[in-house]
Amino acid sequence: MRLKNRVAIVTGAGSGFGEAIARRYADEGAQVVVNDIAGDAAERVAKEIGAKGGSAAAHVGDVSRDAQVAGLVKSALDRFGRLDIVVNNAGTTHRNRPMLEVGEEEFDRIYAVNVKPLFLTAKHAVPHFRKQGGGCFVTIASTAGVRPRPGLTWYNGSKGAAIVTSRSMAAELGPDGIRVNVINPVIGETGLLEMFMGMPDTPENRRKFLAGIPMGRFSKPLDVANAALFLASDEAAFITGACVEVDGGRCV
């Protein structure tokens, strides 16, 4: 049990990478707050974790809103009595298209969801981490933040900002025993090829995309969850400010 007696918040945990991380953490003994803006999804994941003998609580909330992030942290403390890990996983994007075709409202939303939660979760979690002598943040960013592609300019920029912000946090919070690390996944088996690359999700187009991944497959949620488990565990006690590409070699 690598996370026994730890309490973790995982944002965007109602599906995809976040769901896999929440489940993996619970399997390793963590008590998990399953956050998602979609209440039904959060409740489903929390109930399924509980049915397997794990400990989880659903919390509906928009991580781009200060009061709602304050409520999220408070719910973890009220329910489980402490907080050890925050995984900033929730994210959004714009459809692959020329940069000037993305509207201001859409741009604002991308940065509000992909970057602002780092500020808000730090604001509300860091005081508790300092009080208990340490804690851990894991940011789920993207290979888009280190190897940007045309058509996703503002998404790429938001993920790059999340990476640099996380590493800056690591430098400042290290003396407090608070670690901050980043995972950069490549696109997963989630039917998002058309959204991210602007091409129909066909076998031929999948082959074209996979040609750029040396290991020859898309990422799976468990790939990211295993990396997030390691970075939150005592095995990574001296690792902070790191960026781990879970990408099958795409960024090489």
Catalytically active residues are 155
Contact 169, 116 (CB under 8 A): no
SS3 for 168-191, per residue? HHHHHHHHHCEEEEEEEECCECCC
- Dist CA 157 CA 106 (whole Å): 14
Closest-CA residue to 69 (of 154, 141, 128, 26): 128
For 17: left if phi > 0, alpha if psi spans -120 to 50, otherwise beta; the answer is alpha
Contact 250, 213 (CB under 8 A): yes
State the amino acid at position 26 in one-letter form: A
**Residues 6+ positions from 235 with CB-CB distance below 8 Å:** 2
